Structure 1
Amino acid sequence: MSSPNAGSFDAKRQHEVVAALNAFMPQGSVLFNEEDTRPYECDGLAAYRQLPMIVALPSNEAQVAAVLRTCHEMGVPIVPRGAGTGLSGGAMPVANGVVLSTARLNKIIKLDPFARTAVVQPGVRNIAISEAAAAHKLYYAPDPSSQIACTIGGNVAENSGGVHCLKYGLTVHNVMRVRMVTIEGEFVELGSEALDAPGLDLLSVFVGSEGMLGIVTEVTVRLIPKPQLARVIMASFDDVVKGGNAVASIIAAGIIPAGLEMMDKTSSRMVEPFVRAGYDIEAEAILLCESDGNPEEVEEEISRMVDVLQSSGATAIAVSGNEAERLKFWSGRKNAFPAAGRISPDYYCMDGTIPRKRLAEVLLGIEKMEAKYGLRCANVFHAGDGNLHPLILFDANQEGEFHRAELFGEEILELCVEVGGTITGEHGVGLEKINTMCVQFSRPEMDAFVAVKHAFDPSSLLNPTKVIPTLQRCAEHGKMHVKHGQMKFPDLPRF
């Protein structure tokens, strides 16, 4: 399996760019031999690969700017890369391009417990922020499953969420300020450490832009007080429809849990032997509902949620009695992806978002698709905000199975759009979902995306061929009709 734009790069071009970068980069910071660049050929979506022509490893923001200026002058595409944990191919190299890794910019610059903020470089790992803030009884709320490895720069690029994003928000809600470098090597600050910033709100445009508008060199994040207490309810259901409806009922009751996750029977049976979290492997679905706050708040909210779950048809309910048991309940959900490797040679992790009230309908739709494509699917997801993560199980060694998995995943995303949702919640579009962009967005909307990209990167050198499909691609995909080759903005580059 390889990417659509896999191919060899020009050796002469490589030599020219290496020489230009080595003129200012420290020794060992410009990689070009295959044995050194091979680890950068893909991100967490390993099905798509491209050997990079060059990998640049700047150690400070001045070097980042210099790399960008040089590549801009030479017309060399640049693909930003954090920890490489992304799941949509967003950090996959492009031919004759440079991968710019921010891994060495990994310092926590300042932590202010009074302002409850931390200023960090993009290579700082997500969980390291909370570890540094723990002494002040503070933490950084967004907690993607890869938080022990993923970096804050990557989180900004993808607008990452996590188990607790229902109550505490996504990355965009927890980032106050970003310092970034444009393709021309100019520094720009977006947002502010104050309550508001002058000018256009470009911070919310930049967060989630997948490296297409600039490269992050510094981030100011919001820290919040660590709750006095947190407890988790584990509820079992004998029917996925009842489980899905229970999610909507909890929110309808005016309860916003700290976390509200759902797993189907396939997922529970996949995870339980791996982590022994105490999951009910006979249940068709289980819900994990967390409450946090002071002891009185938690007790009252747990009681209310138990009432809703019982009235929704829960067949069994368990409540964590201590912190160790709470972490044990969560361990299964957090380890769902690695546990998939115990029951399947390969898996394809999807990411779509739907209205909560349509959860049961979509789960039943996925069940029908399993029969259609002859593949199993384990469903684990952030049920509280409708962010689905179906794990399509397949064997790449069996001819045609990966292609069927791709078609299966594409149909799941199309169903998400059909019921009023979106094609991604936190994994991004990258290469993986570029065709289904044509399903969700109209041509005028796509033109608007192109115009924003063009305003930041007129030469289209930052992460090209990702996220925004060409009109030709949409036409070939059969989701958009291009009349007589007409384009609204013929002067703008097409991606």
Structure 2
Amino acid sequence: MLDPAAQDALVSAVGAENVVSDPVQLRSYECDGLTGFRQTPSLVVLPCDTAGVAAAVRACHEHGVPFVARGAGTGLSGGAMPVAEGVVISLQRMRSVLEIDPLDHRAVLQPGVTNLDITKAAAVHGLYYAPDPSSQQVCTIGGNVAENSGGAHCLKYGFTTNHVLSMTVVLPDGEIVTLGEDTGEQLGPDLRGVFIGSEGTLGIVCDITVRLLRVPETVRTLLADFPSVTDAGEVVSDLVAAGIIPAAVEMMDNLAIQAAEKAVAAGYTLSTPAALVVELDGPEAECGAQFDRVRQICERHGCTRLHIAETAEERAKIWKGRKAAFAAVGRISPDYIVQDGVVPRTRLAEVLGRIEGMGRDAGLRVANVFHAGDGNLHPLVLFNEDAGELERAEQLSTDIAELCVELGGSLSGEHGIGTDKACSMPRMFGEDDLATMDRVRSAFDPYRLCNPGKLLPTPRLCGEQPGRYRPHPLEEAGVIERL
């Protein structure tokens, strides 16, 4: 139970009408999209503005209460899992588009605005927001900042960090600061860049100023089938080698295609081993010339069917199939885990072969959907919890993430480390690297109240505390010495 004085302080900070304390309602906040990690919070507060967030954080700081920021709860790494005896600060009521500046191509947003709603608000000015995660209809810009989300078009346009100009942030002691500049230029250390992708461990992002882009003159999209995943992967390498940087290059294997077709009937070929979605955008003349080269490269690698979207509706249908893939897998498996890792493009065929073998050894199926252009894999491990397969599925998911590191990649491309992969961080980083990250975190949050237990591995020794050094009581009494 939360200390009564702390609970009273939080109610006073945001108002009783913005507090959830009913045990049944609290269960709604016990996990994010990775449901294998659960913890019911002691309290949920729902501030409506930056001042309310700061007041709630100050109350937590003064009473030593750990807190976790939460947006839409669509994260897939356990990054928004609450802490026992802690508080969830939900940002779902902060969902206003505060400003659209069509002259300077900027938007100012509260953290609860969904990714897709940014583009909808900007569309009347001929502008849009480039990062587009598959969950863009429901995921929020605050969560995108926390995880440095990318999406299908990140190959050409980059990730969230490439489009956020500045942020109003509430630090773990309740102080309100601004990181970055609306011009995109700044003096001194790039604290904006440090904060983006920190998974909620350095503070809570509130007002966010993002860069908007002008809607391209032309968009050309094709869907190509291939006799193998290897053939499709070689197309990706050849495209980049030819100097063509598509707006997006997405790949799906047969399992993922079957699931998506059952869900949305987007026109994918059910029998094909692999399919690529390739999209180009920009000036008409440039797109036309490059599109012909893309088609030639696909045909050179044994393309068995090539469908070119002739209308905006056809293009939307192709993307509907790709973006429905994660949820659609529920149609072919009662349970599944979405993993996230990155490998060099040149090793795509190798890693997919290894994953297939690992799945076979574990007695489980793995569907693959990924951003092929930048090697960001999203393997979906299919299992049946009622059949006792959960433990094997979790181990296989972890093994796949660590395989990405073994092949020269990373543990995450956009879903984050969170609770899920914190213990795998030493596979990618040495002790000095992790210690440096820990010192940065401690500079922002010395008392580890802000989303504790996430991102960095847990202490190696019983009683060892992360963060700045705190002398043991026996050391202070002169009974023992620090080595």
Q: Does 1:173 align with 2:151?
A: no
Match of 1:330 in 2: 319
Q: Does 1:410 align with 2:398?
A: yes
Match of 2:307 in 1: 318
Q: 1:106 to 1:490 in 2, by over 3 A?
A: closer
Match of 2:45 in 1: 56
Q: Does 1:426 align with 2:417?
A: no
What pairs up with 1:38-437 in 2 under 5 angstroms? 38-399=27-388, 401-437=389-425
Deviation at 1:292, TM superposition (A): 1.2
Tell me, in whole angstroms, the C-alpha distance in 1 between the residues paired with 2:323 and 2:30. Answer: 26
Q: Does 1:466 align with 2:444?
A: no
Deviation at 1:123, TM superposition (A): 1.0
Match of 2:444 in 1: 456
Deviation at 1:291, TM superposition (A): 0.9
Tell me, in whole angstroms, the C-alpha distance in 2 between the residues paired with 1:275 and 1:492. Answer: 56
Q: Is the 8 A contact 1:231 1:322 kept in 2?
A: no
SS at match of 2:13: coil
Q: Is the 8 A contact 1:18 1:32 kept in 2?
A: no
Q: TM-score under structure 2 normalisation?
A: 0.95
Letter in 2 for 1:322: T
Segments of structure 2 that go 5 or more residues without pairing to the other structure are: 472-483
SS at match of 1:435: helix
Tell me, in whole angstroms, the C-alpha distance in 1 between the residues paired with 2:15 and 2:228. Answer: 60
Tell me, in whole angstroms, the C-alpha distance in 2 between the residues paired with 1:123 and 1:381. Answer: 26
Tell me, in whole angstroms, the C-alpha distance in 2 between the residues paired with 1:186 and 1:213. Answer: 12
Q: 1:65 to 1:393 in 2, by over 3 A?
A: same
Letter in 2 for 1:418: E
Deviation at 1:315, TM superposition (A): 2.1
Segments of structure 1 that go 5 or more residues without pairing to the other structure are: 1-9, 477-484
SS at match of 2:451: coil
Q: Is the 8 A contact 1:450 1:492 kept in 2?
A: no
Tell me, in whole angstroms, the C-alpha distance in 2 between the residues paired with 1:104 and 1:487. Answer: 35
Deviation at 1:255, TM superposition (A): 0.6
Q: Is the 8 A contact 1:83 1:151 kept in 2?
A: yes
Q: Is the 8 A contact 1:348 1:391 kept in 2?
A: yes
Match of 2:479 in 1: none
Deviation at 1:75, TM superposition (A): 0.4
Q: 1:118 to 1:464 in 2, by over 3 A?
A: same
Q: Does 1:21 align with 2:10?
A: yes
SS at match of 1:325: helix
Tell me, in whole angstroms, the C-alpha distance in 2 between the residues paired with 1:75 and 1:488. Answer: 16
Letter in 2 for 1:413: A
Letter in 2 for 1:491: Y
Q: Does 1:442 align with 2:420?
A: no
Deviation at 1:118, TM superposition (A): 0.2
Deviation at 1:294, TM superposition (A): 2.8
Tell me, in whole angstroms, the C-alpha distance in 1 between the residues paired with 2:88 and 2:450. Answer: 10
Q: 1:396 to 1:59 in 2, by over 3 A?
A: same
Q: 1:248 to 1:98 in 2, by over 3 A?
A: same
Tell me, in whole angstroms, the C-alpha distance in 2 between the residues paired with 1:489 and 1:122. Answer: 28
Tell me, in whole angstroms, the C-alpha distance in 2 between the residues paired with 1:200 and 1:147. Answer: 31
Deviation at 1:230, TM superposition (A): 1.3
Match of 1:481 in 2: none
Higher mean alpha-carbon deviation, 329-338 vs 272-281, is at 272-281
Q: 1:378 to 1:492 in 2, by over 3 A?
A: farther
SS at match of 1:397: helix
Q: Is the 8 A contact 2:114 2:141 kept in 1?
A: yes
SS at match of 1:148: coil
Letter in 1 for 2:369: V
Letter in 2 for 1:431: T
Q: Is the 8 A contact 2:442 2:468 kept in 1?
A: no
Deviation at 1:228, TM superposition (A): 2.4
- Alpha-carbon displacement from aligned partner over 1:41-80 (angstroms, at most 9, x marks no partner): 1101111111110101111111111111111110000101
- Alpha-carbon displacement from aligned partner over 1:374-409 (angstroms, at most 9, x marks no partner): 00010000000110000110111112x111011111
Deviation at 1:489, TM superposition (A): 8.2
Letter in 1 for 2:200: G
Tell me, in whole angstroms, the C-alpha distance in 1 between the residues paired with 2:448 and 2:100. Answer: 36
Deviation at 1:239, TM superposition (A): 1.3
SS at match of 2:256: helix
Aligned length: 471
SS at match of 1:153: helix
Deviation at 1:413, TM superposition (A): 1.1
- Alpha-carbon displacement from aligned partner over 1:134-192 (angstroms, at most 9, x marks no partner): 10010001111111111110100010111111111100001010110111111111111
Q: Is the 8 A contact 2:423 2:456 kept in 1?
A: no
Letter in 2 for 1:442: G
Tell me, in whole angstroms, the C-alpha distance in 2 between the residues paired with 1:471 and 1:59. Answer: 36
Q: Is the 8 A contact 2:446 2:468 kept in 1?
A: no
Q: 1:332 to 1:391 in 2, by over 3 A?
A: same
Deviation at 1:282, TM superposition (A): 1.7
Deviation at 1:471, TM superposition (A): 4.3
Letter in 2 for 1:357: T
- Alpha-carbon displacement from aligned partner over 1:251-302 (angstroms, at most 9, x marks no partner): 1111110110000111111211221111122221111100112322221121
Q: 1:348 to 1:195 in 2, by over 3 A?
A: closer
Q: Is the 8 A contact 1:77 1:98 kept in 2?
A: yes
SS at match of 2:124: helix
Q: Is the 8 A contact 1:233 1:302 kept in 2?
A: no
Tell me, in whole angstroms, the C-alpha distance in 1 between the residues paired with 2:116 and 2:464. Answer: 48
